[in-house]
Structure formats: C-alpha cells, structure tokens
Structure 1
Amino acid sequence: MGLKSVVIDAWSWLNYKPIFSDPGLGMPNRRAFPEAHASWVPAADERRLSAYKLLAAYDNNQASELAELRDGPSARERREFGDPSMFIDTLVAHVMGREQHITVPGAEQTDADSETEAAAAERVQTLLRTWAEDELLPMRMLQCERKAVGLGDGVYLLYWDPDKQRPRLRTYDPGFYFPVLPEDGDGADFPERVHLAWDLPEDPKRGLKARLRRITYEMDWIRPATAPGVDRQGRAVRAPVMSEATNDSPSVPVIGQGDQVDAQGGISRLYPWNDRPTYRTCYLTDATWELGDLKGPVDVDTLPMDKAHFATNGAGEVLDHLDLYLDFIPILHTPNTVPPAEEHWGQSSLAKALQAFDELASTDTDAARASATTGLPMIGISGVTDPKQQYNVGPGAMFKLGENGRLTTVDTSPALRELREHGHDLADRAANVVRLPAVSLGTMDPSKVPSGYALELSLGPLDSLIGGMRLARAHKDMLLLRFVQRLFIAGQHPDWGGITPLPAKLVRGPYTPTDKAAALEQVTTAYKAQVISLETAIRMLTEAGWPIEDAEKEIEQIESRSFEQARLLADALGNPDEVAAFLGRQAPDELAAPAVQLPTVPADEQTDDPAFQGSGGAGGANE
C-alpha cells in the first residue's frame, strides 16, 4: 500500500529536512552527501556521516549551499549570521572551564602515615602535568570539544613517539571513526576493533589514483613474533619469525620477549601495570587501497587484504598487524552527551534547536529585504504631465505634478520592526531549547539583574546542562590519563621507571563567574573551625578561581610561616625535629648544657653565724 516508515534513531531529529530524509527514499540526498554513500561506507553509518556534514555546514554558515542542491539557486539567498557557531563556542567555553588541572588523589596529603603513597602520587602528578604542558593538552582538548559539541562526537588518538620520548595526542574528525560495535552487547562498551578511514583524492601530478586509507587498532590473541618481510607480489608485509632448524628439532615460530606459552599452547604476557598475565594485545594496521580495486559488497571492515599496501613507520616496522605491546586500544571516543541505553553516539548541542535556527535564518533574510525598502522607500507619483518620464528620488529632487497630483510613499518600517522583534523571540527560543540563559550568552544587561541570587537561579538550566556534558566526559578524561601513564611505562621512559600507574583526574575549572571574596570567607571560616583540612581549603580556593598553580608548594609556603601552630606543636610533642619539619627548616644541633657556676662569697664577707656554718660561701650568697 506504499506505507511510509518512520525512522527514529540517533539522528532522526534531522528527518524534517528533505535533503537529509528524501521523501521518496528516506535516505540522505546523494548529491549533497556523496561521502556518506561511498562504496566502502557501511549502510549503518550513512545517516551519521550525513548528519556530521550538515551540522558542519551550519557551523560554517554554509547550510544554504547544501539546500541549493535540492531547492535550487533561490536557497543561496538565505542569510546566515553565525548564530549556531556562537552557540557552539559558548558551550565549548563552558564545558572546558576557565582552566584545567590534573590531580592525583593523595598527592596533597602530608600525613606521616601515608608519606610514601603521597610521594608517589605527587611524583605521578608532576610528571603528568609536565606531559600536559609539553603536549599542549588544553589546545588538544579544545579541538576535540568543538567537534563533540558541534557534531555530537569527538575522537582522541594516543601513540608513543620515540623521537620526542612521550605519548602524542591527536584529534580526529568523528566522520573518520568507524568502531566495530558488538551486536549483542551494550553500545557503550569499548569496541574490540576500531577503524580510522578516509578517502585520499586523486593526485595526477604524482601519478596516484583515488585511494582509501584505513588505520585499524584491534584487540586479539597474542601471536608469535613477526618481522618485516616481502610477499610474492613485492608488498611489504610482516612475516612470522622462525627458529633455526637443527637435527633434533624443526623450525618453529618464535614467541616475543617476555611471553609465556601455557600447556594448551596459548601465549600470555604480563604487562608492567597489571598484576596477572593476559592473553590479548593490541595490533596496529595502516593500509591503503585503490578505490578501483574495491569491488563487490565490501565495507570498511571487510576490505580485501590482498589488495592492501601497508605503510612503514620511521623505525622500519611494517604496519601490518604490528604488536603494540598494549592491552588496550589507544583511541578514545568522547560523546557530547550521555548516550541512551545500548547506544554509542552522542548528540550535538544544536540538535533540538536546529529548526529554530532555520526559522531565524528565514527571518533574517526577510528583515534584510525589508530593510532595503525602508532605507530607500517606494514612492508612487500621480498627476504627472508625462507618464513616460523617469524620476530619480534623492535629496533636493523636484517633481512637476499636474492637477490633483500627489506623492505616495510606502512605509515598510513597521514590518521591519516586527521582523526584528520576531528574530529576538526566535533567538531566545533557541537559547531556551539549548538551555543557554541570556546571561551566559552575554546578551543580558548586567544592570537589569536584581540580585546575585536571581542571577544564580537564572543559571540553573546551564548548571544541569554542563553537569550532564561533563558527566559524559569524566570517564574518558580518566582513561586518557591512564593511557598516558601506560604508554610512558611501555616506552621505558627513564623518569617513569618503577612507577605504578595511579588514578588521575582531569579537573575542569569553573564556567560561571565566581565570588572569590565569598569563597575565601567560607573557606577561612571552615578552616578556623577545624571542619576542613588545609589541603581541602586550598583545593576549594583553586576551584573558585584563585591563582594557585601548585597546591603542594602553596601548602608548604603556608606551613613555613605558621609559627603559632609550630609553637603549639612544640608544646604538644616536645620534639624539635618534627617542629622543624613542619616549618620546612633544619632543626638546630643539640649542644651540651654548660656546667652551673655557683657564685662564692668573698672571705671578708664571711660570718660566724651558725646558720651559715657547713653551707659554704655559696649558701650565704644564695641567702
């Protein structure tokens, strides 16, 4: 009967646009989204890639260019003034916070009982902060967050750089990210195989045809050692390393250094950060295919390996199932929102307000047309002597009119005023849908805020929004720092020798204006009442925006000047060494007490009084 099916998925909020959901096919327009319909793109990812391109067009004021492919040249007349981009930038700034800090729990503790653990935590924290500064972590985060907020998903890739001797962090467009998700598992589970794939255009100058590049990270069973080799077709591949055959034993595959073979023939490995062996490792494959060789029903996960050309890294290793000696895939997918149950993908912050942005663009277009007639009004002339005569309207112009002649002007300013007010209403509607109050967008007059409490209440929707967005990122931020520690250890960096990876947190700073004076008063009162420790007080001040770069050094400087507390400590313990350690100073060397020199009475002052007899001159002097 030709019944129409309704598609409800992670991108069905775009079904209202004919270019995304063709009325006849229900699929994205092929002319507008040719990349999504490439032969190697899985059918399940076509709508996702089309949604990414459409959202990127809104971010770059190019939505009219896509609409032109279906609606004709008239669609290019639509005005786009950057409202979606402004919303994205505002949300990125809020979810990032003013500053970011790496903290390791226990690094700020100064208790004598946990001195060893505190020193280890402080060392890991210092090394991670050094890495973040060298790797420009805030800038990398900003790149990923803009993708996540605007498109709904962001992707990090970590890898060990032997030249720089540190893990490198890269950000990828989510359109290159193709995870192989389990069919019977939770979509939020970490995938066992991940592809990063994209088309390479034809290069006639270098004689290169159009190609497809695919970088694959896959968790699989540990296999015997391999080495670079060449197959019969002359391609660089990896071949198994075989032992030398002898009269007593034939040639057999060689296992990797440190690997163990159990009774069933399985190969296990003990990683430095684990306490028990594992049978799995991560393999890296970096290959390129010519698009002309991809024939038949193949996709990014089922490409013919006999047509692949494998890359070679700087160390001469062929990237054909190269064993990375890692028990994790160093790729992190960061969703913008907490995915629904059994889903993997996040949702763009523009999703629910996209129709409001379309209406706002239409209103801006109408307002631009009305402003032309308002600035140069339309005039009707009646009663002219020569109807064919042309008149120019301008300052000082004179018109000769006949009997009963008159000039009539058409005033379109009321319509322009209504259009502008309607545009403001649509902008407020979009802000309400996205949960961005006017104060966060900078469009509210500060003088109109009745009180600080009213301002705090107006930020309620923003607090819940940013809370949910940061919740979606919290686990991935911890995984990022955990992977960095493991890569340092796997790379055998000398500074990380003997270190056990510790849980680390990436703390995002405040995103709303904070009252530093109120925070200081609150912390001071609580600290004096001895209901919080000095470490907690410093942490609270740091989160309130106080310029404290290193909490440990700040605590040391405070304690080195706490002479009153040091005096109380001396009275309580009577141990100068502990008091000196509290002040961060060296205790003075203990000197032997001088012998007591008792005064004597001169001979001429001695007396025969019996009270002084037998007591010596000293008794008289003391008396």
Structure 2
Amino acid sequence: MGLKDVVIDAWSWLNYKPIFSDPNLGMPHRRAFPEAHASWVPAEDERRLSAYKLLGAYDNNQAAELAELRDGPSARERREYGDPSMFIDTLVAHVLGREQHIVVPGAEQTDADNETAAAAAERVQDLLREWAEDELLPMRMLQCERKAVGLGDGVYLLAWDPDKQRPRLKTYDPGFYFPVLPEDGDGADYPQRVHLAWELPEDPARGLKRRLRRITYELDWIGPATASGVDRQGRAVRAPLMSDATDDTPAVPLIGRGDQVDADGGISRQYPWNDRPTYRTCYLTDATWELGDLKDPHDVDTLPADRARYATNGAGEVLDRLDLYIDFIPVVHVPNTVPPAEEHWGQSSLAKPLQVFDELASTDTDAARASATTGLPMVGISGASIDAKQQYNVGPGVVFKLGADGKLTTIDTSPALRELREHGHDLADRASNVARLPAVSLGTMDPSKVPSGYALELSLGPLDSLIGGMRLARAHKDILLLRFVQRLFLAGQHPDWAGITPLPAKLIRGPYTPTDKGAVLEQVTTAYAAKVISLETALRMLTEAGWPIDDAEKEVEQIQARSFEEARMLADALGNAQEVAAFLGREAPETTQAPAPNLPPVPAQDDEENPVDEGARGSGGNE
C-alpha cells in the first residue's frame, strides 16, 4: 500500500490546491506548470517556480484560467474581481512609505570637532542621492516590492555601465533566480554562486531554436589574467595571458594589474574599500545553450561548458568567467518576510488568506448567478385554458390570458442574493483580519464611524506589527544595496568618488499611516524649546511625519541664518565674531576693534540754581 508523504516547506500552504499538489503524484500539475518541470530546473525548485506562477495568476485574475487545465471548462465560470491584487497594492504602498530618503549617519552633524567626518558623510550622501535620482530608485523599488509582496521574493542586480559612468540597477523576477546554497550552512548566508536563468522562445525568422540563457556570478580565487580569444570550434572564449618564452625561461601565466603573488603562489588584490588584501574576486559568465543539445540530465548549475555560446559586452570582452575586480556578488535577494531559521526564501503576503480569496471568488460567482434570477424572476403559470405548446416571455407590458382558475406564481430570489452579499462582506473582513490589513488601511471604512483618533490608532496595531516585520526583512538588504553602489563607483574609478571611503548608508522609508502633522509639530516645538532635542533631530521628526523638507542640512542652515537672537546669545557667551558669523552663514567684519561708544551729550548747568562742579567738567585744570 502506497502512503502519501505530507510535505511541509516554504510553499506547503498551497498543498490544499489539487493543481499544485496532485493527489496521485503529490507534485505540481505538469500541464499547468511546464516551466517548473523543465529538464534544467533543479528538483528542489519545482514547487517554488510553480508557486510563483500560481500567485501571479491570482494577481492577474487568471486563477480560473489556470484551474481550467485540470478541472475543465467549468472552472472558467469563476468570478475574480481583483481582491488579491488590491491587497498586494495596499501592502506595497505601506511597506514603501510615502517617500524614501538616503541618509548617511553623521552628514547632518554640526559639531566643530568632527567637521571632516561630517563633510565626508555629507559628500557620500549627496553622491548617493544623485545616483538614486539618475537611476530612478523609487521606481526600481516599486518594481521589486511588487514582486516581493506578491510572490514572496524580489531580486536586484547591479552592474557598472561604462557609458553612463554609474552602476545600473535592474530588478528580476524571482523565478529567474537560482542561488547555489550551501548544503551544510545557513540558508541566510550569502551564496558563493548565483545563476539568473530563463528560456528564450524559438525565433524562426532568425533561424534560432529554443535556447536557455544563464548569467552566473561566482566568488572564486583570483586567477591569472585572461583575454578574449577563439577556441578550435570557433567559439568566443577567454584564455590565460602568457609571458613571452625565451631560451632560458618558459612562458608563464601573467597576473592582473595590481595583483600580488605571495610565497605560497596565491594571488591577492587590494580593493579600495578593504583595509587588507583579499584572495577572492567575482567572475561573470553570460552563456546560451540550445535546449536540443542538453541530452543528458543537467540542471542549471551543471550545464555543459563545451555546448555554451558566450556573450560579448560592449567593450568586446567575452563573458566567460570575466574578472569584475570586485569581491562581492552584485545580486541582492529581497525576501518579503523574515525567513525561518536556515531558510532562504520569503513568504508571499497572499499565503495565509489565499483560501479565503477562493471562498470569496466562489461567493461572488454564486452571487452573479443569483442576480440573474433576481433581475429576471422565474414565473410559474397555471390554469385550465393554458396551451402547453404556447411559449411565454416575461417582459414589461406583457399580458397573459389565464383561465378561470389560472394564476401566476413568481419566485423571489432576492433574499438569497442578500445573504450571499453579506457572506461576501464577512469573507472580505476575514481576509483583512488574516492578512492584518484593517479596513481603515484598505480605505473601506467610513471615516465618520471612527469614534476617536486613539481608537483609529489602536485599530492600526496589527498593521504596525506587519509592516514592522516586513521592513525588518528589508533593512539589511537596503544597506547592502547602497554599500554595493559605493563599491561599484570606486571599482569604476569615477572621478567624483576619487579618495572617498565608503560609509554606511541607510534607506529611510517614509510613514505609511495617516499622521497628525499639527500634533507632531507641537511635540517637536515643545521638545526643542525645552532643549531636550537638537534642531537636526527636530527636522528629522518633521520629515518622517510628512513635512516637505528635502534637505535637512540646508534647512538647518536657513533656520540659523535668521536666528539673530540666538546669534546675540552666542556672541555674549563666546565674544568671538568669527563664530557668530559662521553660525549665521555670513562673513565676519574685517576689523576686530570695538566701535567707539556714542555717549549722550552732557547738559549745560551754568545757571545759579544748578551750579556746575568744576571737577566734573574734566577740563584738565590743576588740582
């Protein structure tokens, strides 16, 4: 007797769907998910790719179209009104916030003792913000977050563009992402090799067959220098550079510029962002295989190198283990949730309420059928004079001739429709509760029904914990992304980054809930007047509350330039005109001598009633 295994993994919440876990095979349906069953897809990735496609069908109102492959044409009658997509859009807006700001800690400090460090932090912050504006970072983030929230994972790829002289940022579908995870390590560890692979369709016009393209980034030991060449089969490949052979010395491999060979034969390299040399570098390979050539069982990590056709970049370099001169893989995986221990993948926000969405779609389908009978009611006609062969149509102005005992009977289905609609509202509320999206965050609550602002804040408690966990899963990835951007600028030897040391940078996401700007302003004003917070902290609090402050440092300078009362107090405390002028952002006067006092004139007192004291005249008379 065969026993069915109960599979519990990162995608087991989809086991209830027969199309995902076939009752007989226990695996995803082959006709519905042919991509997941390709010969080059590793077995451990079949359920992941099938889950991505199924979740994408829910997002695009195509779950019924996918179910038709197993359940037949009747599955296409299912009504889908976009509820999963609405949940995804709402969560994406909340996790992104109203705006995003790149902040380098220390850039807003005004301490005179750390002017050099503050200037360096400000310089890095300005350069990163300029890059974010040129590279459309908010739009790229929106693309990635749409994948992460809906599918559970998102992928960023950074690559240096020599033409534009900046790192380019691109987002990839997680179905193209195949990391080689360590078998005996933690799934949260950064992989040493990452593949981005997808199939290319047949192109008869160009004479191209179905192909598989794979882009690989791999961390490995630094090897000898290589150059583009051609092998015996006419394929573009890379070959090691050799020195000229002489009668006394044979040809030996050459090393790259700036590399050093130690006593043990290892090759090390000093990167501008490291304090000491390292022996590792990142290699890039971009190759294509014809699917017809993959006869033996190969997965994406073990494709035959002798069948590959390597691409060439704009500089003419063959992308066959091309040394990128960086010691990191410029691929950032963004999980939607904090992965469980020893896991790598996140979980879609649709995972928990997905069954509720199925029930809601079924209720909507039943309601659509009931509304047809309510709008066009069913009528029964009885009577002795009724001709059984005659056809009767119900419509406005229609007259029925009945016999002496004839009568009309109508069936009212509106109560059933009313029950179905109420049941649909209950299911929508259930989905909101399971997804931890209160009605106020979805925009379905009447604002007049909120008793107080405190009650509104309490109702947002589940959303706060949800967004807090989602942003926690992204916090390190955002820091990693900005760290890679700085390193790529240094590796590309951009002139504006010459002599700059990379600094930790953060991506601050704006508020996602309605904020009372007046209340925040009152709190900030009171705290700043009481000298319990600095001006920089006060402006940061206002920025997070949604006040239109683009640059906090320039805002501080503008405020101080008009703070004449504080400047007077500073002058009384220090007695230094240079310090006061620097505080106001102005130049100090050239002379440092105090001006002559302008005393009031002494009144004349020569009359008899007010005799003048001769000694007070100060005329220089003799004692």
Corresponding position: 1:417 with 2:418: yes
Corresponding position: 1:314 with 2:310: no
**Alpha-carbon contact 1:612-1:620 (below 8 Å) kept:** no
Equivalent in the alignment of 1:245 = 245
What is the TM-score when the length of structure 1 is the normalising length? 0.96
Corresponding position: 1:462 with 2:463: yes
Structure 1 residues 620 and 125 mapped into 2: Cα distance closer, same or farther (>3 Å)?
Answer: same
Structure 1 residues 558-599: Cα deviation after superposition (integer angstroms, max 9, x where no partner): 01111111111100100000000000000011166789999x
In the TM superposition, residue 246 of structure 1 has moved relative to its aligned partner by 2.1
**Alpha-carbon contact 1:192-1:218 (below 8 Å) kept:** yes
Secondary structure class of the residue paired with 1:401: coil
Q: Give the alignment of 1:448-597 within 5 angstroms.
A: 448-590=449-591
Equivalent in the alignment of 1:117 = 117
In the TM superposition, residue 452 of structure 1 has moved relative to its aligned partner by 0.2
Equivalent in the alignment of 1:373 = 373
The one-letter amino acid of 1:388's match is K
In the TM superposition, residue 614 of structure 1 has moved relative to its aligned partner by 12
Secondary structure class of the residue paired with 1:569: helix
In the TM superposition, residue 307 of structure 1 has moved relative to its aligned partner by 0.2
**Alpha-carbon contact 1:612-1:619 (below 8 Å) kept:** no
Corresponding position: 1:214 with 2:214: yes
Once residues 47 and 84 of structure 1 are traced to their aligned partners in structure 2, the CA distance between those partners, rounded to angstroms, is 21
The one-letter amino acid of 1:267's match is I
In the TM superposition, residue 247 of structure 1 has moved relative to its aligned partner by 2.8
Equivalent in the alignment of 1:295 = 295
Once residues 590 and 252 of structure 1 are traced to their aligned partners in structure 2, the CA distance between those partners, rounded to angstroms, is 72
The one-letter amino acid of 1:85's match is S
Once residues 573 and 361 of structure 1 are traced to their aligned partners in structure 2, the CA distance between those partners, rounded to angstroms, is 74
Once residues 26 and 518 of structure 1 are traced to their aligned partners in structure 2, the CA distance between those partners, rounded to angstroms, is 57
Q: Give the alignment of 1:106-505 within 5 angstroms.
A: 106-383=106-383, 384-505=385-506
Moved more, 378-387 or 17-26: 378-387
The one-letter amino acid of 2:503's match is L
In the TM superposition, residue 620 of structure 1 has moved relative to its aligned partner by 5.7
Equivalent in the alignment of 1:43 = 43
Give the gaps of 5 or more residues in structure 2: 600-605, 607-611
Question: Any runs of at least 4 consecutive aligned residues in structure 1 with deviations exceeding 4 A, and if so which?
Answer: 591-598, 611-617
The one-letter amino acid of 1:175's match is G
Once residues 393 and 367 of structure 2 are traced to their aligned partners in structure 1, the CA distance between those partners, rounded to angstroms, is 25
The one-letter amino acid of 2:87's match is F
The one-letter amino acid of 1:124's match is V
Moved more, 244-253 or 296-305: 244-253
In the TM superposition, residue 283 of structure 1 has moved relative to its aligned partner by 0.1
Once residues 314 and 208 of structure 1 are traced to their aligned partners in structure 2, the CA distance between those partners, rounded to angstroms, is 22
Once residues 270 and 497 of structure 1 are traced to their aligned partners in structure 2, the CA distance between those partners, rounded to angstroms, is 16
Once residues 543 and 593 of structure 1 are traced to their aligned partners in structure 2, the CA distance between those partners, rounded to angstroms, is 46
Equivalent in the alignment of 1:97 = 97
Structure 1 residues 269-297: Cα deviation after superposition (integer angstroms, max 9, x where no partner): 01000000000000000000000111112
Equivalent in the alignment of 1:86 = 86
Secondary structure class of the residue paired with 1:215: strand
In the TM superposition, residue 250 of structure 1 has moved relative to its aligned partner by 1.4
Once residues 64 and 75 of structure 2 are traced to their aligned partners in structure 1, the CA distance between those partners, rounded to angstroms, is 6
In the TM superposition, residue 4 of structure 1 has moved relative to its aligned partner by 1.3
Moved more, 387-396 or 504-513: 387-396
What is the TM-score when the length of structure 2 is the normalising length? 0.96
Once residues 257 and 329 of structure 1 are traced to their aligned partners in structure 2, the CA distance between those partners, rounded to angstroms, is 21
Structure 1 residues 614 and 150 mapped into 2: Cα distance closer, same or farther (>3 Å)?
Answer: closer
In the TM superposition, residue 503 of structure 1 has moved relative to its aligned partner by 0.2
In the TM superposition, residue 615 of structure 1 has moved relative to its aligned partner by 11
In the TM superposition, residue 395 of structure 1 has moved relative to its aligned partner by 1.4
Moved more, 371-380 or 586-595: 586-595
The one-letter amino acid of 2:449's match is K
Once residues 410 and 22 of structure 2 are traced to their aligned partners in structure 1, the CA distance between those partners, rounded to angstroms, is 45
Once residues 508 and 93 of structure 1 are traced to their aligned partners in structure 2, the CA distance between those partners, rounded to angstroms, is 11
Structure 1 residues 305-347: Cα deviation after superposition (integer angstroms, max 9, x where no partner): 0000000000000000000000000000000000000000000
In the TM superposition, residue 385 of structure 1 has moved relative to its aligned partner by 3.1
Secondary structure class of the residue paired with 1:319: coil
Equivalent in the alignment of 1:64 = 64
Structure 1 residues 597 and 57 mapped into 2: Cα distance closer, same or farther (>3 Å)?
Answer: closer
Once residues 470 and 94 of structure 2 are traced to their aligned partners in structure 1, the CA distance between those partners, rounded to angstroms, is 10
Structure 1 residues 165-202: Cα deviation after superposition (integer angstroms, max 9, x where no partner): 00000000000000000000000000000000000011
Once residues 404 and 234 of structure 2 are traced to their aligned partners in structure 1, the CA distance between those partners, rounded to angstroms, is 98
Secondary structure class of the residue paired with 2:619: helix
Structure 1 residues 595 and 293 mapped into 2: Cα distance closer, same or farther (>3 Å)?
Answer: closer
Equivalent in the alignment of 1:608 = none
Secondary structure class of the residue paired with 2:404: strand
Give the gaps of 5 or more residues in structure 1: 599-604, 606-610
Structure 1 residues 468 and 401 mapped into 2: Cα distance closer, same or farther (>3 Å)?
Answer: same
**Alpha-carbon contact 1:222-1:280 (below 8 Å) kept:** yes
The one-letter amino acid of 1:337's match is T
In the TM superposition, residue 612 of structure 1 has moved relative to its aligned partner by 10
Once residues 386 and 299 of structure 2 are traced to their aligned partners in structure 1, the CA distance between those partners, rounded to angstroms, is 77
Once residues 237 and 246 of structure 2 are traced to their aligned partners in structure 1, the CA distance between those partners, rounded to angstroms, is 27
Once residues 32 and 613 of structure 2 are traced to their aligned partners in structure 1, the CA distance between those partners, rounded to angstroms, is 121
In the TM superposition, residue 359 of structure 1 has moved relative to its aligned partner by 0.4
Secondary structure class of the residue paired with 1:546: coil
Once residues 379 and 91 of structure 1 are traced to their aligned partners in structure 2, the CA distance between those partners, rounded to angstroms, is 48
Once residues 619 and 63 of structure 1 are traced to their aligned partners in structure 2, the CA distance between those partners, rounded to angstroms, is 110
Secondary structure class of the residue paired with 1:167: strand
In the TM superposition, residue 619 of structure 1 has moved relative to its aligned partner by 3.1
Once residues 182 and 297 of structure 2 are traced to their aligned partners in structure 1, the CA distance between those partners, rounded to angstroms, is 21
**Alpha-carbon contact 1:229-1:237 (below 8 Å) kept:** yes
The one-letter amino acid of 1:500's match is T
Paired residues, number: 613
Equivalent in the alignment of 2:602 = none
Once residues 454 and 220 of structure 1 are traced to their aligned partners in structure 2, the CA distance between those partners, rounded to angstroms, is 57
Once residues 175 and 617 of structure 2 are traced to their aligned partners in structure 1, the CA distance between those partners, rounded to angstroms, is 104
The one-letter amino acid of 1:589's match is E
Equivalent in the alignment of 1:601 = none
**Alpha-carbon contact 1:288-1:310 (below 8 Å) kept:** yes
Once residues 332 and 617 of structure 1 are traced to their aligned partners in structure 2, the CA distance between those partners, rounded to angstroms, is 86
